[in-house]
Amino acid sequence: MKKKLILDDTGVDDAQAIMVALVAPDAEILGITCCHGNTLLENVLKNTLRVLKVCNRLGIPVYRGHFHGKDGLGDVPDPDAPGLELLLKKRAAEAIIKIVSLVATAPLTNLAVAVQLNPTFPKKLKALYNMGENTESRGNTTACGEFNFVADPEAVYIVLDHYSCPTYIATWEFSCRSSLPWSFCDTWLCT
């Protein structure tokens, strides 16, 4: 049985993660939610669609997610932005509860808003995989802060406090040490 994944993405490294997931023989991407992060949300949507187009996978649904406000501190989240909840509602008929894993490679805004809109959301997930934070006090955004956690620290708190599913964090250092060779990309990605 293939692993059913929802991807929450934003930037260049996330585009690479999408491509790797697309060619993984044991993974099925149910949808991709987009988050404001490395660029504006509109650009993230366009970029995600560009990646899917290049990989001939435009059949995968892409959803506009939430953002943490123009001031970076929250303004008021848009409760009508579809994001994760809409994706799960569309797939509810397939009884996907507890068999779907969420892979978050962006700031955790979408995940925090999802649990605020529906407190039972985390219980529907098999697992949460997150790319963020660090273990050696080295940052890629500040002297000791990793981008995804620095971009929306309130969302990080909400997610780590409310998500009860098994949660795995791939830190900045892990990501730096675990790169794929270009030969992998040339051989497998989008061929």
Q: Where are the alpha helices (DSSP H) in the chain?
A: 12-23, 41-54, 83-91, 109-117, 147-151, 153-162, 172-177, 182-188
- Give the Cα separation of 11 and 84 in Å (integer): 18
CA-to-CA distance for 17 and 48, rounded, in angstroms?
11
Say which of 9, 75, 152, 161 is annotated catalytic.
9
| 117 three-class SS | helix
Q: Is 9 considered catalytic here?
A: yes
**Selection from 73, 70, 53, 71 nearest residue 62 by Cα:** 53
Helix, strand, or coil here: 178? coil
Question: Which residues are annotated as catalytic?
Answer: 9
